[in-house]
Amino acid sequence: MFSLPLAPDVEMRPLEPWRAEEFLAHLDRARDHIAPWVSPSFVTTDLESARATLQRYADRWARDAGGLWGLWWQDTLVGGIVLVSFDVTLGLCEVGCWLEPAAQGHNIVFPAASRLIDWAVRERGIHRVEWRTNAENRRSIALARRLGLRHDGTLREVYPDPVGPGRIDLEVWSVLAHEWAPASPTATPAPDGGVRGAP
Protein backbone atom coordinates (compact mmCIF):
# COMPACT_ATOMS: atom_id res chain seq x y z
CA MET A 1 0.00 0.00 0.00
CA PHE A 2 1.24 3.49 -0.83
CA SER A 3 1.13 5.96 2.03
CA LEU A 4 2.91 9.13 3.04
CA PRO A 5 3.41 9.67 6.79
CA LEU A 6 2.71 13.29 7.75
CA ALA A 7 2.97 12.88 11.53
CA PRO A 8 3.21 9.91 13.93
CA ASP A 9 -0.57 9.33 13.68
CA VAL A 10 -1.39 10.92 10.28
CA GLU A 11 -1.01 9.42 6.81
CA MET A 12 -1.89 10.58 3.31
CA ARG A 13 -2.95 7.78 0.95
CA PRO A 14 -4.50 7.61 -2.54
CA LEU A 15 -8.29 7.64 -2.21
CA GLU A 16 -9.13 5.07 -4.85
CA PRO A 17 -12.49 3.55 -5.93
CA TRP A 18 -11.96 0.37 -3.91
CA ARG A 19 -12.15 2.54 -0.78
CA ALA A 20 -15.75 3.59 -1.55
CA GLU A 21 -17.25 2.02 1.59
CA GLU A 22 -14.69 3.70 3.84
CA PHE A 23 -15.18 6.99 1.96
CA LEU A 24 -18.96 6.80 2.38
CA ALA A 25 -18.65 6.07 6.12
CA HIS A 26 -16.37 9.08 6.42
CA LEU A 27 -18.82 11.29 4.51
CA ASP A 28 -21.64 10.13 6.79
CA ARG A 29 -19.64 11.64 9.67
CA ALA A 30 -18.60 14.75 7.72
CA ARG A 31 -21.55 15.49 5.41
CA ASP A 32 -23.36 18.20 7.36
CA HIS A 33 -20.10 19.89 8.27
CA ILE A 34 -18.59 20.06 4.77
CA ALA A 35 -21.79 20.49 2.70
CA PRO A 36 -21.68 24.33 2.76
CA TRP A 37 -18.10 24.38 1.47
CA VAL A 38 -17.75 21.69 -1.21
CA SER A 39 -19.46 20.86 -4.48
CA PRO A 40 -22.80 19.06 -3.97
CA SER A 41 -21.61 16.32 -6.35
CA PHE A 42 -18.78 15.51 -3.93
CA VAL A 43 -21.00 14.92 -0.89
CA THR A 44 -22.27 11.51 -1.98
CA THR A 45 -25.02 9.71 -0.10
CA ASP A 46 -24.79 6.07 -1.21
CA LEU A 47 -22.18 3.51 -2.14
CA GLU A 48 -22.73 3.80 -5.90
CA SER A 49 -22.25 7.58 -5.94
CA ALA A 50 -19.28 7.32 -3.56
CA ARG A 51 -17.60 4.87 -5.92
CA ALA A 52 -18.43 7.11 -8.90
CA THR A 53 -16.87 10.14 -7.18
CA LEU A 54 -13.67 8.24 -6.43
CA GLN A 55 -13.59 6.85 -9.98
CA ARG A 56 -13.99 10.36 -11.41
CA TYR A 57 -10.84 11.46 -9.57
CA ALA A 58 -8.98 8.24 -10.44
CA ASP A 59 -9.74 9.00 -14.09
CA ARG A 60 -8.43 12.55 -13.67
CA TRP A 61 -5.22 11.18 -12.13
CA ALA A 62 -4.84 8.77 -15.06
CA ARG A 63 -5.20 11.73 -17.47
CA ASP A 64 -2.74 13.82 -15.41
CA ALA A 65 -5.58 16.28 -14.82
CA GLY A 66 -6.22 16.07 -11.06
CA GLY A 67 -6.17 13.68 -8.12
CA LEU A 68 -7.55 12.80 -4.71
CA TRP A 69 -5.83 11.64 -1.50
CA GLY A 70 -7.35 10.71 1.82
CA LEU A 71 -6.03 11.76 5.21
CA TRP A 72 -6.03 9.07 7.87
CA TRP A 73 -5.73 10.09 11.51
CA GLN A 74 -5.23 7.28 14.01
CA ASP A 75 -5.98 4.90 11.12
CA THR A 76 -9.41 6.45 10.40
CA LEU A 77 -10.20 8.35 7.20
CA VAL A 78 -11.04 11.87 8.41
CA GLY A 79 -10.58 14.09 5.34
CA GLY A 80 -8.62 14.63 2.21
CA ILE A 81 -6.68 16.81 -0.14
CA VAL A 82 -7.56 17.22 -3.80
CA LEU A 83 -6.12 18.50 -7.03
CA VAL A 84 -9.40 19.91 -8.35
CA SER A 85 -7.67 20.68 -11.63
CA PHE A 86 -4.14 20.15 -12.90
CA ASP A 87 -2.70 21.36 -16.21
CA VAL A 88 1.05 21.03 -16.75
CA THR A 89 0.82 22.69 -20.18
CA LEU A 90 -0.66 25.85 -18.69
CA GLY A 91 1.36 25.45 -15.47
CA LEU A 92 -1.81 25.83 -13.41
CA CYS A 93 -3.54 23.76 -10.74
CA GLU A 94 -6.14 24.16 -8.02
CA VAL A 95 -5.78 22.53 -4.60
CA GLY A 96 -8.61 21.96 -2.12
CA CYS A 97 -9.29 20.05 1.08
CA TRP A 98 -11.92 18.90 3.53
CA LEU A 99 -11.92 17.54 7.08
CA GLU A 100 -14.50 16.09 9.41
CA PRO A 101 -15.15 17.99 12.68
CA ALA A 102 -13.54 15.49 15.07
CA ALA A 103 -10.19 15.87 13.31
CA GLN A 104 -10.01 19.66 13.39
CA GLY A 105 -7.25 21.25 15.40
CA HIS A 106 -4.77 18.37 14.97
CA ASN A 107 -2.60 19.85 12.19
CA ILE A 108 -3.73 17.26 9.65
CA VAL A 109 -4.49 19.26 6.50
CA PHE A 110 -1.61 21.77 6.54
CA PRO A 111 1.24 19.27 6.03
CA ALA A 112 -0.74 17.44 3.33
CA ALA A 113 -1.50 20.65 1.42
CA SER A 114 2.09 21.82 1.79
CA ARG A 115 3.47 18.52 0.47
CA LEU A 116 1.05 18.45 -2.46
CA ILE A 117 1.80 22.04 -3.48
CA ASP A 118 5.52 21.39 -3.15
CA TRP A 119 5.25 18.31 -5.38
CA ALA A 120 3.20 20.21 -7.98
CA VAL A 121 5.66 23.12 -8.11
CA ARG A 122 9.01 21.34 -7.76
CA GLU A 123 8.37 17.97 -9.35
CA ARG A 124 5.79 18.83 -12.01
CA GLY A 125 6.75 22.41 -12.84
CA ILE A 126 3.42 24.04 -11.99
CA HIS A 127 3.77 27.83 -12.10
CA ARG A 128 0.57 28.91 -10.33
CA VAL A 129 -1.29 27.05 -7.60
CA GLU A 130 -4.79 28.28 -6.81
CA TRP A 131 -6.95 27.85 -3.73
CA ARG A 132 -10.63 28.77 -4.25
CA THR A 133 -12.96 28.97 -1.30
CA ASN A 134 -16.33 30.24 -0.19
CA ALA A 135 -15.72 33.71 1.25
CA GLU A 136 -17.46 32.61 4.47
CA ASN A 137 -15.16 29.62 5.02
CA ARG A 138 -12.82 31.12 7.64
CA ARG A 139 -10.90 27.88 8.27
CA SER A 140 -10.07 27.48 4.59
CA ILE A 141 -8.97 31.11 4.32
CA ALA A 142 -6.78 30.76 7.42
CA LEU A 143 -5.17 27.66 5.91
CA ALA A 144 -4.48 29.49 2.63
CA ARG A 145 -2.76 32.26 4.61
CA ARG A 146 -0.76 29.76 6.65
CA LEU A 147 0.41 28.09 3.44
CA GLY A 148 1.71 31.44 2.24
CA LEU A 149 -0.85 32.01 -0.50
CA ARG A 150 -1.95 35.51 -1.47
CA HIS A 151 -5.52 36.73 -1.83
CA ASP A 152 -5.98 37.61 -5.51
CA GLY A 153 -9.56 38.80 -5.16
CA THR A 154 -13.18 37.84 -4.59
CA LEU A 155 -15.55 36.70 -7.31
CA ARG A 156 -18.98 37.95 -6.28
CA GLU A 157 -22.03 35.69 -6.29
CA VAL A 158 -20.38 33.03 -8.45
CA TYR A 159 -22.35 29.91 -7.50
CA PRO A 160 -25.76 29.14 -6.02
CA ASP A 161 -25.46 28.50 -2.29
CA PRO A 162 -25.46 24.67 -1.91
CA VAL A 163 -27.34 24.78 1.41
CA GLY A 164 -29.59 27.80 1.16
CA PRO A 165 -31.04 30.55 -1.01
CA GLY A 166 -28.87 33.11 -2.73
CA ARG A 167 -25.38 32.84 -4.17
CA ILE A 168 -21.90 32.63 -2.68
CA ASP A 169 -18.85 34.82 -3.08
CA LEU A 170 -15.68 32.92 -3.99
CA GLU A 171 -12.26 34.01 -2.77
CA VAL A 172 -9.29 33.18 -5.00
CA TRP A 173 -5.88 32.69 -3.36
CA SER A 174 -2.68 31.70 -5.14
CA VAL A 175 1.03 31.16 -4.93
CA LEU A 176 3.47 31.37 -7.83
CA ALA A 177 6.38 28.97 -8.18
CA HIS A 178 9.03 31.58 -7.37
CA GLU A 179 7.08 32.59 -4.22
CA TRP A 180 6.63 29.07 -2.86
CA ALA A 181 8.57 28.20 0.30
CA PRO A 182 7.68 24.65 1.39
CA ALA A 183 7.30 23.72 5.02
CA SER A 184 10.04 21.07 4.72
CA PRO A 185 12.79 22.08 2.30
CA THR A 186 14.99 18.99 2.73
CA ALA A 187 12.77 16.52 0.87
CA THR A 188 9.78 16.52 -1.42
CA PRO A 189 7.50 13.53 -0.76
CA ALA A 190 5.35 12.81 -3.80
CA PRO A 191 1.67 11.93 -3.46
CA ASP A 192 2.28 8.50 -4.98
CA GLY A 193 4.17 7.54 -1.82
CA GLY A 194 7.68 8.07 -3.17
CA VAL A 195 10.16 10.62 -1.92
CA ARG A 196 11.98 12.93 -4.28
CA GLY A 197 15.07 14.90 -3.41
CA ALA A 198 14.56 18.63 -3.16
CA PRO A 199 16.40 20.77 -5.69
pLDDT digits (tens, 9 = 90+) for 54-79: 999 999 999 999 999 999 999 999 99
Residue 197 has pLDDT above 70, yes or no: no
Predicted pLDDT at 33: 87
Q: How confident is the model at residue 186 (pLDDT cuts 50, 70, 90)?
A: very low
Q: What is the mean pLDDT of the chain?
A: 89
The answer for residues whose C-beta is within 8 angstroms of residue 191's C-beta and 6 or more apart is 4, 12, 14, 67, 69, 115, 116, 119
List pLDDT tens digits, range 159-176: 898 888 899 999 999 999
Kindly state whether residue 18 falls inside one of the protein's structural domains: yes
Kindly state whether residue 197 falls inside one of the protein's structural domains: no
Say how many domains are in the chain: 1
Predicted pLDDT at 183: 55
Residue 41 has pLDDT above 70, yes or no: yes
Residue 38's domain comprises 4-191
